[in-house]
Amino acid sequence: MENTIIELQFALNTFYFLVMGALVMWMAAGFTMLEAGLVRSKNTTAILTKNIGLFAIACTMYMVYGYDLMYGGGVMLEGINEVTKLTAEGSAKAYASPSDFFFQVVFVATAMSIVSGAVAERMKLFSFFIFAIIFTAVIYPMEGAWTWGNGVAGSMGENGVFGLFALGDSILDESGKVLVEGVAWKDFAGSGIVHMAGAAAALAGVIVLGARKGKYNKDRSSNAIPGANMPLATLGTFILWLGWFGFNGGSVLSMASQGASIDVAMVFLNTNAAASGGVIAAIILVKLLWGKVDLSMALNGALAGLVAITAAPDTPTALQATLIGAVGGVLVVFSITMLDKVFKI
């Protein structure tokens, strides 16, 4: 009887990883539709090509090199066939390792999709693909190794990697005495690890590449570039909203116990609440500032709320999650305005 329960927990956790990973993969379609709807119609085909290409590159490069760099142990050199040891004590957290890889690889593609949206209409196709190879094989896995990957054991703590200090570690001397206490740090589902990594790369790309052609005049005044298909952009946002339940919910990493099931339910509730808060805050703020509602800002408000709650969707109440999302909705309106009006990018 005990073995049957252990096997059932193992199967449930593995299945949960795969289903949540499939939901996160669906976010690739969301990003594609969102970007295709917001660019000029002449660039739609290029955007679609970039997104399907980056997804394939992310899956391949993370499999060949990135996963091993992030988690260590030479896993990919031997193939992903390890199975977590089944014991009565650890069965609630056990799962098949290939399901973990699948769940991880779609996160990499999500991070790279953020870059794709930022450099839309700015970057040539194969230049973008070259950067996608570097980002998914090295950049994302390296910063992931400092955090989720637990790095490589070294003199700076068990999470030290490549001689650098990892968040959460304490710095020790040779005798093991604590010199600097570890930094209190938490990123439940990747608000920083995934979304900030993608956003930092995106911002760097935009600064280097400059504004889209036709956006600014010689006198530095700006021209509005309306999206070619706002219904498509709205559909993309709803697809992302749906996929985010897998993104945050799957990060509970288990579904085979009562406690884990409660956590998953709370994460789903807070994820939805934060997105709603972001939309409402963005709509109200834009109305107060400009006297009319802007659909693109409302869509960005939803995404900002989702990103904001991703760091800790398991701990706040639903009302607190709504307020967290609302803060994200406010920030995204001011951020977009500042990048457009002040920095001219």
pLDDT band at residue 313, thresholds of 50, 70 and 90?
Answer: very high
163 to 116, 166, 181: CA distances (angstroms): 31, 9, 17
What average pLDDT is seen over the chain? Answer: 86
Backbone angles phi, psi at 80, to 5 degrees: -90, 90
Please give the average per-residue pLDDT across 138-158, as a whole number: 69
User: Which residues neighbour 272 within 8 Å (Cβ) at sequence distance 6 or greater?
Assistant: 241, 245
Residue 51's φ and ψ, nearest 5 degrees, are -75, -40
Return the higher-pLDDT residue of 156 and 34: 34
- What Å distances lie between residue 200 and 56, 204, 238, 345, CA to CA? 22, 6, 24, 14
Distance CA 278, CA 24 (A): 20
pLDDT band at 146 (very low <50, low <70, confident <90, very high): confident
Digit-coded pLDDT (tens) for 44-88? 999 999 999 999 999 999 988 898 888 875 555 444 544 444 333
Task: Give the pLDDT score at 102.
Answer: 93
- The average pLDDT across 285-292 equals 97
Radius of gyration of the chain, Cα coordinates, nearest whole angstrom? 21
pLDDT at 152 (0 to 100): 41
Least confident of 21-25, 146-150, 151-155: 151-155
Alpha-carbon distance of 25 to 9, in angstroms, equals 24
**Pairwise CA distance, residues 112 & 55, whole Å:** 8
Lowest mean pLDDT segment, chosen from 104-108, 222-226, 232-236, 303-307: 222-226
CB atoms within 10 A of CB 19: 16
Residue with tokens 């930022």, as numbered in its chain:
118
* Predicted TM-score of the model (pTM): 0.88
Architecture of domain 1-148+187-231: Orthogonal Bundle (1.10)
Residues 210 and 122 sit within 8 Å (Cβ to Cβ): yes
Question: φ and ψ at 179, to 5 degrees?
Answer: -95, -40
Query: What one-letter code names the amino acid at 52?
Result: I
Q: According to the model, what pLDDT value does residue 163 have?
A: 40
What is the distance between the alpha carbons of residues 12 and 271, in angstroms, rounded to a whole number? 23
CB 60 within 8 A of CB 135: no
Q: Which residues contact 172 (CB under 8 A, 6 or more apart)?
A: 155, 156, 157, 178, 179
Centroid of chain to Cα 17: 16
pLDDT band at 302 (very low <50, low <70, confident <90, very high): very high
pLDDT (0 to 100) of residue 4: 83
Q: What pLDDT, on the 0 to 100 scale, is given for residue 325? A: 98
In percent, the amount of the chain with pLDDT more than 90 equals: 65
Contact 237, 301 (CB under 8 A): no
Report pLDDT for 173: 56
